[in-house]
């Protein structure tokens, strides 16, 4: 373990034990370094690393604070990491496997908790996907919103953030473009319809099965593209 890693662990331990609770301000750099028996340079590097991890927030001209430590905040970095793995075929398959393990169970849980308003939101995005037809950008947007609405119905913010991070916007767009090019989008839309129909009956077993079929088919489509040695097409740049 490097000296920087040890410094990071020391500060993290102060946060974990409550010595530095959420929202608290860290001592000035010199005082923090002296308190932990570190050089100022090591303390500075540790603070930078924990700021990247969303454990600390550096406010220019004010100081460094412990963040809220909410799971949704701490998991933000995972989404960025997923976006960096888009050219790694093994990593893409691993990510799809994680999604296959988590999303069907989340959908089953949603079936037991989803409200009428939340179900209507899912239906809204399903209808929008039908209208989008072969417009990859719209399909991707409403696909992400559809699945977000389903998982949000669980009421579990950590699960929602984790699944959104694993899915990744770029990966979704590339898969949709591949499906449209292969004229398989109709089948995928039918799978979304089946998920909605199962949720509407509040049947958790049926909802889990529908979600598993959808994610498994998406995973298989990804594997077929990778086996063909033809990289999934990248989506066009997002227009700001």
In 17-156, where does DSSP find H-type helix? 29-36, 40-52, 71-74, 76-83, 89-113, 116-132, 136-152
Give the pTM.
0.74
Give the structural domain span for 124: 76-227
pLDDT attached to residue 235: 47
Domain boundary among 19, 34, 69: 69
Between the alpha carbon of residue 26 and those of residues 41, 74, 118, the distances in Å are 16, 18, 41
With H, G, I as helix, E, B as strand and everything else as coil, classify residue 58.
strand
103 and 152 in contact (C-beta within 8 Å)? no
pLDDT attached to residue 218: 85
| One domain for residues 109 and 217 | yes
pLDDT attached to residue 171: 62
65-71: long-range pairs with CB below 8 Å, 24+:
65/23, 65/24, 65/25, 65/26, 66/15, 66/20, 66/21, 66/22, 66/23, 66/24, 66/26, 67/22, 68/22, 68/23, 69/15, 69/22, 70/157, 71/157, 71/158, 71/161
134 and 180 in contact (C-beta within 8 Å)? yes
Distance CA 199, CA 99 (A): 19
What is the chain's pLDDT, residue by residue, as a tens digit (240 residues)?
A: 788 999 999 999 999 999 999 999 999 999 999 999 999 999 999 999 999 888 999 999 999 999 998 877 777 766 666 666 666 778 878 888 999 999 999 999 999 999 999 999 999 999 999 998 778 888 888 998 999 999 999 999 999 988 988 876 556 665 666 666 666 778 889 999 999 999 999 999 999 999 999 999 888 877 877 776 655 554 444 443
| One domain for residues 63 and 86 | no
Q: Check which CATH number belongs to the domain holding 37 and give it.
A: 1.10.10.10
148 and 126 in contact (C-beta within 8 Å)? no
pLDDT attached to residue 234: 47
Tally of structural domains, the chain: 2
pLDDT attached to residue 86: 62
Query: Which tokens go with 200?
Result: 């509407």
pLDDT attached to residue 236: 45
């Amino acid at each position: 373990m490097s000296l920087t890693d040890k410094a990071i662990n020391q500060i993290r331990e102060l946060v974990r034990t409550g010595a530095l609770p959420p929202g608290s301000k860290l001592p000035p750099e010199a005082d923090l370094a002296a308190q932990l028996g570190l050089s100022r340079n090591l303390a500075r590097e540790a603070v930078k690393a924990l700021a990247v991890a969303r454990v600390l927030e550096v406010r220019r001209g004010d100081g460094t604070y412990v963040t809220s430590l909410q799971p949704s905040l701490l998991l933000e970095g995972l989404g960025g990491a997923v976006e960096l793995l888009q050219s790694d075929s093994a990593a893409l398959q691993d990510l799809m496997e994680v999604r296959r393990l988590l999303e069907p169970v989340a959908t089953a849980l949603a079936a037991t908790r989803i409200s009428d308003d939340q179900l209507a939101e899912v239906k809204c995005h399903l209808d929008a996907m039908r209208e989008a037809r072969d417009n990859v950008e719209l399909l991707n947007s409403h696909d992400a919103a559809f699945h977000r609405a389903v998982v949000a119905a669980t009421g579990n913010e950590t699960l929602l953030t984790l699944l959104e991070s694993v899915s990744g916007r770029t990966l979704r767009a590339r898969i949709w473009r591949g499906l449209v090019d292969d004229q398989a989008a109709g089948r995928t839309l039918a799978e979304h319809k089946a998920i909605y129909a199962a949720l509407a009956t509040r049947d958790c077993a049926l909802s889990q099965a529908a979600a598993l079929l959808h994610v498994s088919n998406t995973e298989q489509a990804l594997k077929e593209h990778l086996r063909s040695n033809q990289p999934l097409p990248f989506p066009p740049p997002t227009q700001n």
